[in-house]
Structure 1
Amino acid sequence: MGAEAAGTGDVTATPGTTPFTGADKGTWTAGEVVETASDKMKAAGAFLIHRATCDFTFSGTAPNGAAVSGKSTVALSATASRLRVGGERLLLNGDEAHDTFGNALKAVSTRPLRLP
């Protein structure tokens, strides 16, 4: 059985389109994606990752014109039960997480691994 494991740099952040609580318009901005990587295993030149997080910030306005700001953190954790390094699961191609505002993290990888 083959799988595509995510390595450093393989998780992308996509800002949502739903306004923060109390706002009727505005924009979300993605911060830096922070990845937690294995220091024991590489595939296609990159260390494989277990999880990733990203802080998204919102800037907009309420219906009355008042400024609204907000923050949401999205955490992506591995769910595959068979792929583990050092006892921790690995992120796979297609793993994703999102919040109620539509902010999302997604692992996109073509790093092949073979399972015994």
Structure 2
Amino acid sequence: MTAIGAARTADATPAPQTPAGTWQVTPGQPVTVTAGKLRVDTRPVVLGASCGFAFAPSPTGSPLPPSTVSANAKNTRLRCDGRPVLLDGDTAQDSYGNTLKATDPGRLRTE
């Protein structure tokens, strides 16, 4: 039997605060694209995810444009509807350090 961590959620972590300001997760984010048929513990697995981050400058900081981080599944053998799925631990990060990580406490099992 093989155990694979197929992601069911995506966690967003803003970049650390700096003297210039603070990054924040945009309300309602992250957004995930889930598989229609492939499920782990009754929840659909994630095919892709994205998250918007907004920068709140300090009184001495300069504004920065919003940033979007997208996590795309790697080309793995595990697929649903012909598309690869995100695996537990898959991570994407922008140049500011805002991070999106695919997570799943459960396991997809094959026999």
Q: Same fold (TM over 0.5)?
A: yes
Residues 18, 102 of structure 1: 8 Å contact kept = no
Q: Cα 1:87–1:68, aligned 2, differ >3 Å: closer, same or farther?
A: same
- Residue 17 of structure 1 deviates from its aligned partner by 2.5
Residues 15, 103 of structure 1: 8 Å contact kept = yes
State how 1:1-116 maps to structure 2 within 5 Å. 1-7=2-8, 10-17=9-16, 25-31=20-26, 32-61=29-58, 65=60, 67-115=62-110
Consecutive unaligned residues in structure 1, runs of 5 or more: none
Give the residue type in structure 1 aligned to 2:37: K
In our comparison, the structure showing a higher alpha carbon Rg is 1
TM-score, with length taken from structure 2: 0.86
Question: How many residues get paired?
Answer: 108
1:35-74 per-residue CA deviation (whole Å, 9 max, x = no partner) reads 0001111111201110000010001148xx3651420000
Consecutive unaligned residues in structure 2, runs of 5 or more: none
1:85-112 per-residue CA deviation (whole Å, 9 max, x = no partner) reads 0000111111000001000000121221
Q: Percent identity?
A: 32
- Residue 4 of structure 1 deviates from its aligned partner by 0.9
Distance in structure 1 (CA, Å) of the matches to 2:61 and 2:103: 38
Moved over 3 A (4+): none
- Residue 18 of structure 1 deviates from its aligned partner by 6.8
TM-score, with length taken from structure 1: 0.82
Give the residue type in structure 2 aligned to 1:30: V
Distance in structure 2 (CA, Å) of the matches to 1:58 and 1:100: 13
